[in-house]
């Protein structure tokens, strides 16, 4: 759990990438709203730098740890002092370094492989999302809320026909999430008996005064919490309507090792929707970001449901990109 602008954000634990969102929010809580506006170059820059720091910690510390160890790691990663230290690293220019923090245990540093130098093979990697943010299916997300306040956020995924055989007698593909583990025994997300892979699947619940008020999430591999962070800043800090926040231009960083083989990264990499505008793109490049401009409606598949605890009014919003998501009620 973490709090941002008066709202509690609930995520899955270190076996997911969920704490990335919590870490980024605790860093951004040190900045005023104007600095966070994703419609400006400064806002894109600030959110991107926070995400790069949080995702470096993901690679260094996240994994299927025993409960006591996981609790200790999370307590350190989300502590006010650590969040303030990490926030102080967000400078006017983009960082091109891999910068995990120090929490009293040795951080794991994965091989830092750039895209051009990585080996290639068919049938492996992330088949659900391209480098520019476009998705082709497979991973799904659903949010549901009812009149009594029961609320669910779920992101099922993992049986990809591109990289997994189907079992003829059963009619479904084998799960392929073990590809996200490391063979390096020093890695916190290493392959070992009884250990779950550290997945990218990361649904979100929001609460106020202990009452659930929203559920959200998206497909998208390493981009899932990045796109959710943009949404939360727009709605919780800037007061945007959920549908308007989803529709607004999106972006994501590629300056972190991918969760999928061959696990490449692009130092300083940033992918921005064309609708962000030329002035924003040019300022980001001037700050040192290696910007790729993607299609105007290419990034994110967010959906969200909300419930007002006082009035009981239910709302839903869905991403128009790709015509893959819908909001429905009865």
> pLDDT at position 117, please?
66
Residue 118 to residue 76: CA distance in whole angstroms: 34
Q: What does DSSP say about strands 166-167 and 151-154: parallel, antiparallel, or unpaired?
A: unpaired
Question: Which domain covers residue 11, as residue numbers?
Answer: 2-93+141-159+204-323
Average pLDDT over residues 169-191: 87
pLDDT in tens, 100-118: 999 999 999 999 999 766 5
Average pLDDT over residues 202-224: 97
Residue 175 lies in a domain: no
Residue 146 lies in a domain: yes
Residue 280: CATH number of its domain: 3.60.20.40
Residue 319 lies in a domain: yes
Residue 122 lies in a domain: no
Q: For the chain, what is the domain count?
A: 1
Q: What is the pTM of this model?
A: 0.92
pLDDT in tens, 116-134: 665 555 555 555 555 555 5
> pLDDT at position 135, please?
53
Residue 174 lies in a domain: no
Residue 126 lies in a domain: no
Contact at 8 Å (CB) between 28 and 37? no
Contact at 8 Å (CB) between 42 and 243? no
Residue 227 lies in a domain: yes
CB within 8 A of 200, min separation 6: which ones? 16, 17, 180, 220, 221, 222, 224, 259
> pLDDT at position 159, please?
66
Residue 329, classified by CB atoms within 10 Å of its CB into exposed (0-12), middle (13-18) or buried (19+), is: exposed
């Amino acid at each position: 759990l973490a709090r941002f602008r008066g709202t509690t954000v609930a995520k899955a634990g270190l076996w997911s990438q969920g704490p990335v969102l919590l870490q980024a929010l605790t860093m951004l809580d040190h900045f005023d709203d104007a600095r966070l506006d994703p419609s400006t170059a400064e806002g894109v820059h600030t959110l991107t730098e926070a995400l790069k720091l949080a995702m470096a910690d993901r690679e260094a510390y996240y994994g299927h740890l025993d409960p006591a160890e996981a609790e200790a790691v999370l307590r350190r990663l989300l502590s006010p002092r650590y969040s303030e230290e990490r926030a102080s690293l967000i400078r006017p220019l983009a960082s091109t370094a891999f910068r995990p923090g120090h929490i009293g245990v040795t951080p794991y540093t994965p091989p830092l492989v750039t895209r051009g130098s990585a080996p290639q093979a068919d049938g492996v990697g992330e088949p659900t999302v391209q480098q520019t943010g476009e998705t082709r299916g497979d991973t799904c997300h659903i949010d549901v809320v009812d009149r009594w306040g029961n609320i669910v956020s779920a992101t099922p995924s993992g049986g990809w026909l591109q990289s997994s055989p189907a079992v003829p007698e059963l009619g479904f593909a084998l799960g392929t999430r073990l590809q996200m583990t490391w063979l390096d025994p020093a890695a916190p997300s290493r392959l070992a008996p009884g250990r779950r892979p550290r997945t990218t699947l990361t649904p979100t619940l929001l609460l106020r005064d202990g009452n659930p008020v929203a559920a959200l999430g998206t497909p998208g591999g390493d981009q899932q919490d990045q796109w959710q962070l943009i949404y939360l800043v727009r709605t919780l800090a800037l007061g945007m309507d959920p549908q308007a926040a989803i529709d607004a231009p999106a972006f994501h960083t590629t300056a972190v090792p991918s969760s999928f083989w061959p696990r490449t990264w692009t130092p300083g990499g940033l992918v921005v929707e064309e609708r962000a505008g030329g002035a924003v793109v040019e300022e980001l490049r001037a700050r040192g970001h290696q910007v790729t401009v993607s299609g105007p409606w290419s990034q994110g598949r967010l959906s969200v449901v909300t419930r007002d605890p006082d009035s009981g009014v239910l709302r839903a919003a869905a991403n128009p990109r790709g015509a893959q998501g819908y909001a429905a009620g009865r």
